[in-house]
Amino acid sequence: MIFQPFFHRVAVLLAAITLFGAGVHAAPAAAPAPVPSGRTETPLMQGWRFAFGDEHTEKSDGSNWQVVNLPHTWNRIGGHSTKAADANDKRGKGWYRLSFTAGAAAAKPRRSWLQFDGASIVSDVWLNGVHLGRHHGGVSGFRFDVTDALRTGDNLLVVRTDNTAPDTKGAATAETLPMGGDWFMYGGLYRKVSLITTAPVHIELGDHGGPGVYARTVSVEAGRARVEVTAKVRHNAGATQAVQVRTSLLDARGRAVASSTQPLDMAVSSLQEVKSSLEVAKPRLWNGVADPYLYTLRVDLLSGARTVDTVSQNFGIRTMRFDPDKGFFLNGKPLALRGVNRHQETGANGWAATDAELERDYAIIKEIGANTVRLAHYQHPKAGYDLADRMGLVVWAEVPLVLLSAPYGEPTATPGFIANAEQHLRELIRQNFNHPSIAVWSIANEPNLGNVWMRPKPLTVPLLKRLAALARAEDPSRAPVLASCCGNLPGSLMPTSKGPGLDSPPEAVDVYGVNVYFGWYYSTVSGLSAYLDEMHAFYPNKAMSVTEYGAGGALSQHTDNPLGGPIVAGGRPHPEGFQSYIHEHTWPQLRDKPYLWGSWLWNMFDFGTAIRMEGDLVDTNDKGIVSFDRKVKKESFYFYKAHWNPEPMIYLAGHRYTERASPVADVKAYTNAPKASLSVNGRDLGSVDCVERICLWRNVVLAKGDNDMLVSASVKGKTLRDRAVWRRADGPGTYRVLAGQLGVMQTSAGLYGSDNFFNGGEGQLLNPPARGTPPPPKVVAGAADQAMYLAYRTGRFSYALPLPNGEYNLTLRFVEPVESQTAGKRVFDVRVQGSVALADLDIAGQAGSMKALERTVPLRVNDGKAMIEFIPKTGVAILSSFSIDPR
Task: Encode pLDDT of 348-378 as tens digits.
Answer: 899 999 999 999 999 999 999 999 999 999 9
Count of CB atoms within 10 A of residue 254's CB?
9
Looking at the domain assignment, is residue 198 inside a domain?
no
Considering 728, 754, 777, which residue would you say is the last residue of a domain?
Answer: 728
Tell me, what's the pLDDT at 773? Answer: 81
pLDDT of 29: 42
> Over 403-422, what HEC string results?
CCCCCCCCCCCCHHHHHHHH
Report the CATH number at residue 67: 2.60.120.260
Q: Write down the pLDDT at residue 35.
A: 63
Of the residues 175, 398, 446, 614, only one is catalytic, namely 446
- E strands, 304-391, are 306-315, 320-323, 327-330, 333-334, 337-342, 372-375
Q: Are residues 79 and 140 in the same domain?
A: yes
pLDDT at 498: 45
pLDDT exceeds 60 at position 21: no
pTM attached to this predicted model: 0.94
- Give the pLDDT confidence score for residue 14 in this predicted structure: 34
Contact 459, 418 (CB under 8 A): no
In b/e form, how buried is each residue of 698-717, taking b as 16+ CB within 10 angstroms?
eebebeeeebebbbbbbbee
* Average pLDDT score, the chain: 93
Say whether both 538 and 605 belong to one domain: yes
Percent share of the chain, pLDDT over 90: 86
Confidence of residue 501 (pLDDT cuts 50, 70, 90): low
Of 184, 79, 84, nearest to 605 by C-alpha is 79
pLDDT 10s digits, 147-204: 999 999 999 999 999 999 999 999 999 999 999 999 999 999 999 999 999 999 999 9
Q: Distance between CA atoms of 712 and 669, rounded to whole angstroms?
A: 9
* SS3 label, residue 71: coil
The total number of structural domains that make up the chain: 5
Give the tens place of pLDDT for each residue, 516-536: 999 999 889 999 999 899 899
What is the pLDDT confidence band of residue 24, given thresholds at 50, 70 and 90? very low
Measured in whole angstroms, how far is the alpha carbon of residue 874 from the centre of its chain?
A: 49
Residues 846, 431: Cα–Cα separation, whole Å: 73
**Given this model, what pLDDT does residue 499 score?**
47
Confidence of residue 238 (pLDDT cuts 50, 70, 90): confident
For the purposes of burial, counting CB atoms within 10 Å of the CB of 259, is it exposed (0-12), middle (13-18) or buried (19 or more)?
A: middle
Residue 143 · residue 116 · CB < 8 Å: yes
Structural domain ending residue among the three candidates 680, 702, 728: 728
Question: Residue 446's domain is classified under what CATH number?
Answer: 3.20.20.80
635 noted as active-site residue:
no
In the chain, % of residues over pLDDT 70: 93
Q: What is the pLDDT of residue 451?
A: 64
Of all helices (H) and strands (E), which one includes residue 151? none
Q: What is the pLDDT of residue 25?
A: 43
C-alpha dihedral sign at 584, 589, 592, 595: negative
Domain holding 284, by residue range, is: 213-315
Residue 65 lies in a domain: yes
Same domain, yes or no: 286 and 350? no
Asked, for residue 327, whether it belongs to a domain, the answer is: no
Over its C-alpha atoms, the chain yields an Rg (Å, rounded) of 31
The predicted structure's pLDDT at residue 411: 85
**208 part of a folded domain:** no
Residue 8 has pLDDT above 50, yes or no: no
**What dihedral angle (degrees, nearest 10) is formed by the CA atoms of 566, 570, 572, 578?**
50
pLDDT at 786: 97
Same domain, 374 and 445: yes
Whether residues 723 and 745 share a domain: the answer is no
CA dist 844 and 856 (Å) reads 18
- Asked, as a colleague might, if the bond just before 429 is cis with ω within 30 of 0, I would say no
Residue 13 has pLDDT above 70, yes or no: no
As to burial, measured by CB atoms within 10 angstroms (0-12 exposed, 13-18 middle, 19+ buried), residue 613 is exposed
Q: Reply yes or no on whether the pLDDT at 755 is more than 70.
A: yes
- Cα(433)–Cα(211) distance, integer angstroms: 9
Rounded to an integer, what distance in angstroms lies between the CA atom of residue 609 and that of residue 616?
Answer: 14
Q: How far apart are CA 758 and CA 882, in angstroms?
A: 12
Are residues 675 and 602 located together in one domain of the fold?
Answer: no
pLDDT tens column, 310-351? 999 999 999 999 999 999 999 999 999 999 999 999 998 999
Task: Tell me the C-alpha to C-alpha distance, in Å, between residue 329 and each of 596, 597, 643.
Answer: 12, 8, 21
In this structure, the answer to whether residues 504 and 587 fall within a common structural domain is: yes
Q: How far apart are CA 488 and CA 524, in angstroms?
A: 11
Residue 105's pLDDT is what?
87
Does residue 462 have a cis peptide bond before it, meaning omega lies within 30 degrees of 0?
no
* Sign of torsion over alpha carbons 287, 292, 293, 297: positive
Cα 236 from Cα 683, distance rounded (Å): 81
Q: Do 22 and 103 belong together in one domain?
A: yes
Question: pLDDT class for 15, splitting at 50, 70, 90?
Answer: very low
The CATH number given to whatever domain includes residue 707 is: 2.60.40.10
Contact in structure between 522 and 549 (CB atoms under 8 Å): no
Residue 861's domain is classified under what CATH number? 2.60.120
Reduced to 3 states, what is the DSSP secondary structure of residue 582? Answer: helix
> 201-210, 455-464, 466-475 — which is least confidently predicted?
455-464
Q: Which amino acid is at 19?
A: L
Q: Are strands 372-375 and 394-398 parallel, antiparallel or unpaired?
A: parallel
| Residue 688 three-state SS | strand
- What pLDDT, in 10s, does the model give residues 641-685? 999 999 999 999 999 999 999 999 999 999 999 999 999 999 999
pLDDT one-digit tens code per residue, 676-698: 999 999 999 999 999 999 999 99
Q: Which of 728, 746, 769 is the last residue of a domain?
A: 728
How far is the CA of 405 from the CAs of 471, 509, 749, in angstroms? Answer: 18, 17, 52
Angle at 441 between CA 440 and CA 444, to 5 degrees: 125
Beta carbons of 659 and 751 less than 8 angstroms apart: yes
Q: Which among 550, 540, 535 is positioned nearest to 493, based on CA atoms?
A: 535
Q: Which residues pair with 509 in a beta bridge?
A: none
In DSSP terms, 224 is beta-bridged to 221, 281
Q: Which amino acid is at 780?
A: V
Amino acid (1-letter code) at residue 517: Y
Report the alpha-carbon distance of residue 401 to residue 399 in Å, rounded. 6
For residue 879, pLDDT over 60 is answered with yes
pLDDT tier at 492, thresholds 50, 70, 90: very low
Instruction: Give domain status of residue 741, yes or no.
Output: yes
User: What's the rounded mean pLDDT across residues 504-510?
Assistant: 88
Cα atoms found within 13 Å of the Cα of residue 710, Cβ hemisphere only = 12
Indicate the pLDDT class of residue 23, thresholds 50, 70 and 90.
very low
Collapsed DSSP state (helix, strand, coil) of residue 842: coil
Q: What is the DSSP letter of 531?
A: H
Claim to verify: residue 73 and residue 164 sit in the same structural domain: yes
Q: Say if CB 481 and CB 512 are below 8 A apart.
A: yes
Residues 96/48, Cβ–Cβ less than 8 Å: yes
Rounded to the nearest 10 degrees, the angle between the axes of helix 415-432 and helix 382-391 is: 40
Q: Residue 605: enclosing H or E segment and its boundaries?
A: none
Is 200 within the bounds of a domain? no
pLDDT at 495 over 70: no
Are 641 and 680 part of one and the same domain? no
Q: How far apart are CA 240 and CA 98, in angstroms?
A: 37
Give the integer Cα–Cα distance in Å for 517 and 525: 8
Cβ atoms within 10 A of the Cβ of 761, count?
A: 22
Q: What is the pLDDT of residues 554-612, one digit of tens each?
A: 999 999 999 999 999 999 999 999 999 999 999 999 999 999 999 999 999 999 998 88
1 part of a folded domain: no
pLDDT in tens, 811-863: 999 999 999 899 999 999 999 999 999 999 999 999 999 999 999 999 999 99
Q: Are residues 636 and 745 in the same domain?
A: no
Q: What pLDDT is recorded for position 33?
A: 55
Longest dimension (CA), the chain: 106
pLDDT tens for residues 398-437?
999 999 999 998 988 999 999 999 999 999 999 999 999 9
What is the C-alpha to C-alpha distance for residues 301 and 348, in angstroms, rounded to an integer? 43
Same domain, 724 and 750: no
Question: Is 80 exceeded by the pLDDT of residue 283?
Answer: yes
- Confirm whether 196 is domain-assigned: no
